[in-house]
Structure 1
Amino acid sequence: MKNIQITPELARRIALHAQLLDGSAEFPAGKEGVARIIEQLGYVQIDTIAVIERAHHHTLQTRAADYDAVLLHDLQANDRRVFEYWGHAMSYLPMRDYRYYLPRMQQFAASKSPGIQRRLNKCGHLLQPILERIRQEGPVTSKDFEALPQEKGGAWWDWKPSKIALELLFWRGEIMVTERRKFQKVYDLTERVLPEGTDTRMPSDAEVEEFRVRRALSAYGIARAKDIHAFLQLDSKNRSKTSGLTALVEAGEVIPLTIRNRNGAEYYTLPATLEQTDQFSRRPATLHFLSPFDNLIIRRERVQHLFDFDFALECYLPAKKRTYGYFLVPMLWGDRFVGRFDPKADRKSKTLILRNLVFEPDFQDFETFLPIFGQKLREFARFNQCDTISIEKSTPRTIPEHCKDFF
């Protein structure tokens, strides 16, 4: 096979095009557009941190200017075009991919891992009673099990074991999240949530691994073997990290390549991607504020390798060990990351606070950038239901003074 090498610039443009961040994507407005975004990305990660709008809403709003949370709710609760399960982490996933998660559900049901066994020892006796309650009474939330034991006439109604039991049933695929109400999960029987015609055939190991590779390369555009393997938390009896990839390369359905000046690291792409490189021409620079859980940024090593941007989420570190701040939002301008900021939406005062705004040391084009930044920051404030903006600290220190005219 011919040794293919591409430039770092082309590699970045391929990645941004696949992630719908190069300004070329055209989707319908409303639910259909949001559904297509989720289908292209393969998953949208859910996270509980709410210092600004939660990660799943942020990731979708980055790509859909007319995004509203009700659109995602409708796609899950009414249209049944997405479902929740373990993707990269807990995620919204395209319903058409449902069957490829069946082995993971089966693995949870048969698991002898210490963690699962501890949960079963604590609340395994609750699984069937909870299933029967849902069957008889309909959808439930964990709050439906918060009553004191004496009020329900049985110790099994203790809240914490019941919540664990709901999660186990969910992991095993016996119940699904039918919707969320104010972020609270509402569970129902899987048979009542899955839309008619959903493919529920158990896939073979080879099918799971091929799905993993194709899904990852469609969403990433270009990726290394380790990126492909980590893309989704799927399960198959074949534990090889490269079995599906090797088979597709040998069949000519995946193309290996390298990137100039990247130490010979082997990347992979789909043939159709290489055939469309004329679509990846340089476009006017678009500014995006990415969620730290955004699909583009979540693989930190990949981002550093492709974009020369060293990024880490610091919210899980003690405050004294943080370099930049708690919940860092990377700024992508064109095909370059130019900095990051640590935001907080103060809901009471309706103020978007940038607790720390830091540009990359080699970034200099502030004259062009700041008006665009000001406009984008106003849009970001509105997305977070904020009316005013405050920058508490910045590097360079003069940025707040220069931004006064823009917001």
Structure 2
Amino acid sequence: MTTSVSGPTLAQLRDYAAARTLHTEATVQGALGRLGFVQADPIRAPARAQDLILMQRVQTYRAGELERRYADLDIEEDMLPNYGFVTHEVHRLLHPRNVKELKIEQDAPGLGERVLEYVRARGEAHPRQLEAEFGRTRVGNYWGGSSNAATRSLEALHRRGQLRVLRREKGVKVYGPARTGLSGPLSDQERALGIVQLLVRLYAPLPRQSLGYLISLCGYGAPGLQTELRLALKELEDGWLASAKVEGLNYLWPADEPSDRIAPPGIRLVAPFDPLVWDRRRFAHLHGWVYRFEAYTPSAKRTMGYYALPLLHAGKAVGWANLSVSGGELHSDVGLIAGVRRTAAFERALKAELERYGAFLGLA
């Protein structure tokens, strides 16, 4: 049985979510170790999602720092529950993957083995090098278009854990052989238990339905483990998880964490994929309004903007802001929900957050 506790109020749960999530670490590695997974997204508005997530958790973090320091960090690019960055400890939970034959392996039989041999012999490979070696044969992809066959083979080998991303050059992945000499593989049960614990610690407190959805998303990052993941959740409900029904939703969080914490003061502008706002069900329930990510919505139909960053004031989401850089200066377009006033204290807090963004973007 999940450890039942006397239910916190919605405001207390909202404070707890902000307090446990918006932690501050002295180093990038410290933040990565605490998070375990950082979701990635290529849109820069004004910076990539992974940078926006880390700037809220690392003192003096600068845009692009993760990519610049990638080779020196305990980190891998991988998938769980979305594409992003994981520590080596989390990477162990994902491999070996039970991957069925991939489309590129059907379309270009034997090419993967040749590409793997090429990379192992040279130590690394940029997709352009493979084009020169194996030609520019195009094959269909999962999105209805076509891609270079050798590049698709690199991606397939990475998915299987036979290659890893060494670094990026102007955003393009450079691959190398997978790490060797690491600890032996974990059992499927150990992997599933670790994955569910990671999801809870990353996104808690979260509705049980949301945790179920996150587990279903792991079907790509941890294929073949769906049964073990469900069993792991049942095992964790027997003491490791605390639960309470709060205004109609059953929330879960680690039982060893106190839920009576106070949200950090001031204003925070967080990424659309930040763990604090990623779960739209939880966001609407805790904050009382619906946030929309509209980057892929036709401009005429947008209500918040291309890349609206949720605006949190003392842990409560009260609006959003679109940020842009022009002429070496940071510009902001702020929207607030009904009933929120821009008091002098609010303006001071917003000014401080925008100044922090300026330093993060190298404008200060």
TM-score range, shorter chain: 0.7 to 0.9
Q: 2:113 aligns with which of 111, 128, 143?
A: 128
Q: Does the 8 Å contact 2:240/2:255 carry over to 1? A: yes
Q: Could you tell me how far apart the structure 2 residues matched to 1:339 and 1:163 are?
A: 41
Deviation of residue 73 (structure 1)?
Answer: 4.2
Q: Which residue of 2 aligns with 1:372?
A: 349
Is the CA contact (8 Å cut-off) linking 1:98 and 1:200 kept in structure 2? no
Count of equivalent residues? 349
1:224 corresponds to: 207
8 Å Cα contact 1:42/1:93 also seen in 2: yes
- Please name the residue that 1:267 is paired with: 251
Q: Distance in 2 between matches of 1:173 and 1:58?
A: 28
* Equivalent pair of 1:14/1:221 in contact (CA under 8 Å): no
Alignment TM-score, normalising by the size of structure 1 = 0.78
Paired position in structure 1 for 2:322: 342
Q: Give the Cα separation in 2 of the matches to 1:95 and 1:142.
A: 25
Q: Percent identity?
A: 21
Q: Which moved more, 1:333-342 or 1:66-75?
A: 66-75
Q: Cα deviations across residues 301-331 of structure 1 (Å, max 9, x unaligned)?
A: 1111122231111011122221121111111
2: CA distance, partners of 1:242 / 1:256? 17
Match of 2:302 among 305, 308, 322: 322
Alignment of 1:28-67 (within 5 A): 28=26, 33-67=27-61
Counterpart-to-counterpart distance in 2, 1:132 and 1:157? 19
- What is the one-letter code of the residue matched to 1:169? L
Rg comparison, structure with higher value: 1
CA–CA separation in structure 1 for the residues paired with 2:151 and 2:230:
37
CA–CA distance in 2 between the matches of 1:217 and 1:299? 12
* CA gap 1:266/1:77 in 2 versus in 1, 3 angstroms: same
Ranges in structure 2 where 5+ consecutive residues have no aligned partner: 139-146
After TM superposition, give the deviation of residue 361 of structure 1 in Å: 1.0
Task: Identify the structure with the greater helix proportion.
Answer: 1
Cross-structure match for 2:194: 211
- Cα shift at 1:91: 0.7
The farther-off stretch of 371-380 and 231-240 is 231-240
Partner secondary structure for residue 85 of structure 1: strand
In 2, distance between residues paired with 1:240 and 1:200? 19
**What is the distance in 2 between the residues matched to 1:70 and 1:339?**
26
Residue pair 2:4, 2:244 contacting (<8 A) in 1 also = no
Which of 245, 248, 252 in structure 2 is aligned with 1:258? 245
Q: Name 1:172's counterpart in structure 2.
A: 160
What RMSD in Å do the two structures reach over aligned CA positions?
2.5
1:146 is displaced (CA, Å) by: 3.9
Number of the residue aligned with 1:289: 269
| 1:348-381: CA deviation from partner (whole Å, max 9, x where unpaired) | x223333x42111111242210122123213213
Mean Cα deviation higher: 53-62 or 358-367:
358-367
Cα deviation digits, residues 235-263 of structure 1 (max 9, x gap): 3444477432222223x22222122xx22
Taking structure 1 as reference, are residues 364 and 51 closer, same or farther at Cα in structure 2, changes over 3 Å only?
A: closer
* Cα separation, 2, equivalents of 1:91 and 1:200: 23
1:345–1:386: 8 Å Cα contact kept in structure 2?
A: no
Change (3 A) 1:48 1:26: closer
Deviation of the 1:157 alpha carbon = 6.6
Letter of the structure 2 residue corresponding to residue 341 of structure 1: A
SS at match of 2:105: helix
1:171-210 alpha-carbon deviations (Å, 9 max, x no partner): 111100012233221100103xx5x4x3341422x32332
Matched, 1:181 2:183: no
- Matched residue SS, 1:5: coil
Shift of 1:86: 0.3
Query: Aligned in 2, Cα 1:381/1:225: closer, same or farther, shift over 3 Å?
Result: same
TM-score by length of structure 2 reads: 0.86
Q: Is the 8 A contact 2:136 2:148 kept in 1?
A: no
Structure 2 residue 75 is matched with structure 1 residue 82: yes
1:85 deviates by 0.2
Whether 1:6 and 2:8 are equivalent positions in the alignment is yes
Distance 1:345 1:124 in 2: 47
Contact 1:256 1:267 in 2 (8 A): yes
Q: Distance in 1 between matches of 2:14 and 2:296?
A: 29
Q: In 1, Cα distance between the equivalents of 2:277 and 2:12?
A: 18
